[in-house]
Structure 1
Amino acid sequence: MNKIVEVLPDKDALIQRSLAIVLDKIQAAIAERGRCTIALAGGGTPKPLYEQLATHDLAWDNIHIFWGDERYVPADHPDSNEGMARHAWLDQVAFPPANLHPMPTANPDPAVSASQHESELQQFFQLQPGEFPRFDIILLGIGDDGHTASLFPHTEALQVRDRLVTVGNKDGQPRITFTAPLINHARTVLFVVAEASKRPALAQIFAPVADDNIYPARLIQPEGELWWLLDQAAGQDLRRS
């Protein structure tokens, strides 16, 4: 694993640095493999990144968009990660509809939806049983509680090692989420983190020893590159490396 930590002066600089890395990885993936696969994060922090991406003229036909997790609501719900990304970016450019791969949330049973999405990933990446896909880019954030994607502290999803997609749980509300092993197979994992409220969790995530079940972002140790981009408010206690 190649781990890079950068603390940027403010949130605007954080977004611009994130944009530069994402654009570079998109272009490199298309040049090397003919396509780029990206899994998006939800929450407020990446929204301006998506708005910036919408201003660039990229090879949309060669980019496939997925989501690392999704709240169990329809795409037009205000809490939908898909809906946020569509409004900020995907509906603003000429993305082929077939290149967007949202997590399904229509079935009454979230476990059925998780299984459906796992099947879609297996077909798209042409996986054999037991194999994991290698996303080119997985974007992540963290919560004040140290969660990432919908891998929340002390939840069953943290223990899932043999699935690509599972059901997360946030205060009794179901989510659909990539599993930690899937995320860890990515070529590039990019955490984009802002605000001082994240500092206590970051201290534990970066500590040499701490409990993964309490701070699930510690589980993310990818085979490829691991980028932590933080604004000064979030990252001022961390040494640059």
Structure 2
Amino acid sequence: MKKIIEVLPDKPALIERGIELVLTKIQSAISERGRCTIVLAGGSTPKPLYGAIATQDLPWDKIHVFWGDERYVSPNHPDSNQGMARQAWLDKVDIPESNIHPMPTDGETPAADATKHEAQLREFFGIEAGQFPQFDVILLGIGDDAHTASLFPHTEALQVQNGLVTVGNKDGQPRITFTAPLINQARSVLFLVAGASKRPALAQIFAPDADPFTYPARLIQPQEELWWLLDGEAGELKYEE
């Protein structure tokens, strides 16, 4: 695994670097494989990145958009990751609706919708049970508790080894989330982290030895490329690559 840690002066510089990397990954994927599969993160940090991508002149019909996790709410709910990305980016560009692959949140149960989305992913990538697809780029953030996607400390979702999609749990509130093994298949995983409040979590994530079930972002060890982009506040401590 190639691991790169970059500390940018401030959040605007973090977003600018993130845009640069994401555009490079999109263009190389399309040139090499004819399409790009990108997985989006929720939260406030990547929102300006999505807004900037919306201003680019890209071959939108060759870009397929997914989400790494979703709150169990309707797409028009203010907490919806899908809703945020649509407002900031997807509704502003001429991307085919068939290229947008949101996590379903309107089924009978979160578990049923997780199973449904796993089937959707298998169909899209043409893979059998037991196989994992390989996304081109997955965007992630972390919480102050070192969670990523909806992989929260000491929750059942961290134990899933064979599935692609599972149910996460945040203080009793269900989420749908990619599993750590699925994320780890990606060609590139890109963490965007801003703010001083993230320093304690980062110290544990980058520590030589710490419990991944307490600090779940430690589980993310992709086979190919792992990028950590930190703003000056988050990256004030010195982290070893």
Same fold (TM over 0.5): yes
Report what 2:127 is aligned to: 127
TM-score by length of 1: 0.99
Give the CA deviation at 1:128: 1.8
**1:233 alignment partner, SS class:** coil
Question: After superposition, where does 1:206-221 map in structure 2 within 5 Å?
Answer: 206-221=206-221
Report what 2:157 is aligned to: 157
Question: After superposition, where does 1:197-236 map in structure 2 within 5 Å?
Answer: 197-236=197-236
- Separation (CA, whole Å) in 1 of partners of 2:178 and 2:28: 24
Runs of 4+ in structure 1 displaced over 4 angstroms?
A: none
Q: Pairwise CA RMSD of aligned residues?
A: 0.7
Specify the code of the residue in structure 2 equivalent to 1:105: T
TM-score by length of 2: 0.99
- Separation (CA, whole Å) in 2 of partners of 1:195 and 1:132: 33
Question: Does the CA contact (< 8 Å) of 2:75 and 2:83 recur in 1?
Answer: yes
Are 1:115 and 2:124 an aligned pair? no
Specify the code of the residue in structure 1 equivalent to 2:224: G
Report what 1:32 is aligned to: 32
Question: Does the CA contact (< 8 Å) of 1:190 and 1:226 recur in 2?
Answer: yes
Question: Does the CA contact (< 8 Å) of 1:141 and 1:193 recur in 2?
Answer: yes
**1:16 alignment partner, SS class:** helix
Are 1:6 and 2:16 an aligned pair? no
- Separation (CA, whole Å) in 2 of partners of 1:185 and 1:239: 24
Specify the code of the residue in structure 2 equivalent to 1:163: G
Question: Does the CA contact (< 8 Å) of 2:206 and 2:239 recur in 1?
Answer: no
- Separation (CA, whole Å) in 1 of partners of 2:18 and 2:133: 23
**2:234 alignment partner, SS class:** helix
Give the CA deviation at 1:108: 2.8
Distance 1:58 1:222, change over 3 A: same
- Separation (CA, whole Å) in 2 of partners of 1:228 and 1:127: 30
- Separation (CA, whole Å) in 2 of partners of 1:165 and 1:61: 25
Report what 2:95 is aligned to: 95
Give the CA deviation at 1:239: 3.5
**1:169 alignment partner, SS class:** strand
Give the CA deviation at 1:240: 6.2
- Separation (CA, whole Å) in 2 of partners of 1:232 and 1:159: 33
- Separation (CA, whole Å) in 2 of partners of 1:216 and 1:30: 31
- Separation (CA, whole Å) in 1 of partners of 2:129 and 2:163: 10
Question: Does the CA contact (< 8 Å) of 1:158 and 1:180 recur in 2?
Answer: yes
Give the CA deviation at 1:48: 0.3
Question: After superposition, where does 1:128-147 map in structure 2 within 5 Å?
Answer: 128-147=128-147
**1:200 alignment partner, SS class:** helix
- The answer for unaligned runs of 5 or more in structure 1 is none
Report what 1:60 is aligned to: 60
Are 1:106 and 2:97 an aligned pair? no
- The answer for unaligned runs of 5 or more in structure 2 is none
Give the CA deviation at 1:238: 2.4
**1:65 alignment partner, SS class:** strand
**2:55 alignment partner, SS class:** coil
Are 1:238 and 2:219 an aligned pair? no
Give the CA deviation at 1:125: 0.5
**2:29 alignment partner, SS class:** helix
Question: Does the CA contact (< 8 Å) of 1:167 and 1:174 recur in 2?
Answer: yes
Question: What is the aligned residue count?
Answer: 241
**1:232 alignment partner, SS class:** coil
Question: Does the CA contact (< 8 Å) of 1:7 and 1:240 recur in 2?
Answer: no
